[in-house]
Structure 1
């Protein structure tokens, strides 16, 4: 809710939550979040959240590599990653940036988190709103991990019986 995510509007919360659920990779959670998001977002905005999750799944691996390897030669090479959707993501650009930041936090890419945070702050998004987006990502990731472990434990119990 907006009370639990200061600085974000309802659409922003839904976009960040959907992108975060996709990044957390737990299908039942993603379906539940997608169903809730559908009540607040157009089909294009839902696709914007999906696009943020997809693009960051790719970029976070690549840019985390270039950052952690720390060889300046990689900075001179063209990344060659297709990111056409960023020109028209289907949702407001700030909302796409919030979702990209949240997914980057889940995926642990410091370079991408830094880049998206700076872009958001340049667009006068408050620190509180940025924090809210990352908190949504953190909570959804924790829920996904917990549900996955509960399902694994249930499977183990069923197999043992």
Structure 2
């Protein structure tokens, strides 16, 4: 007997453009639990109802988290949704590159922070980061994506640095807050797909 997906699950999958016919065992094991209704509302709010992020920016931020978490079906669906909101191939490529760079930096700088030895802290990292110099999406948004990925990856040093930088590039704390809330909700959703 094939179990049918609840309306809440179908609505959740449709919200992010995922295949409603595919199997999502963890998600489906929750049936129509209250948590899924909350998740649907939370995900809808962070993707569609941000006062400080455009729909395109919300989708690009969500895409960066999906890339970071290696969730290819979600990467594909969010790419399609972001393009429908006007994201260019160059902007999508920059999200992929930024996420990769931040994953690299988060490991390196977390190590420095954890160990706290002079040699490691004073030695040049030797990690090229030319993508940060003139980003297609602009410095402020590039820093916002960097902050969101760093928060998901738990790099305290990177979070503090990117939060400071994004504010210096003109973002408000409300915009930062919404970006981090979005990253948190998307990460939570990914744990179930």
Normalising by the residue count of structure 1, what TM-score does the alignment of the two structures yield?
0.84
Cα separation, 2, equivalents of 1:90 and 1:144: 27
Q: Whose helix fraction is larger, Structure 1's or Structure 2's?
A: 1
- Cα distance, 1:124 vs. partner? 2.5
What residue is the counterpart of 2:148 in the other structure?
Answer: 102
Note the C-alpha offset of 1:106: 1.1
Check the 8 A contact 2:48/2:55 in 1, yes or no. Answer: no
Q: Which residue of 2 aligns with 1:16?
A: 61
Distance 2:123 2:47 in 1: 42
> Is 1:114 matched up with 2:169?
no
Q: Which runs of 5+ in 1 are unaligned?
A: 148-161
Q: Distance in 1 between matches of 2:155 and 2:51?
A: 24
In structure 1, the residue matched to 2:188 is 142
Q: Any runs of at least 4 consecutive aligned residues in structure 1 with deviations exceeding 4 A, and if so which?
A: none
The reply on whether 1:56 has 2:96 as its aligned counterpart is: no
SS at match of 2:124: coil
Shifted more, 7-16 versus 23-32: the winner is 7-16
SS of residue paired to 1:82: coil
Residues 61-70 or 86-95, more deviating: 86-95
Aligned residue pairs, count: 147
Deviation readout 1:55-107 (Å, 9 max, x if unpaired): 10100000010011111221210100121111233211111111111111111
CA distance in 1, matches of 2:80, 2:121: 40
8 A Cα contact 1:15 1:95, kept in partner: no
| Higher Cα Rg, which structure | 2
Q: Hey, what's the Cα distance between the residues in 2 that align with 1:32 and 1:115?
A: 31
CA distance in 2 between partners of 1:138 and 1:5 (Å): 14
The answer for the alignment partner of 1:133 in structure 2 is: 179
Shift in Å, 1:3: 5.6
> Which residues of structure 2 form unaligned runs of 5+?
1-45
Shift of 1:29: 1.5
Aligned CA RMSD, in angstroms, stands at 1.5
User: Which residue pairs with 1:77 in the alignment?
Assistant: 123
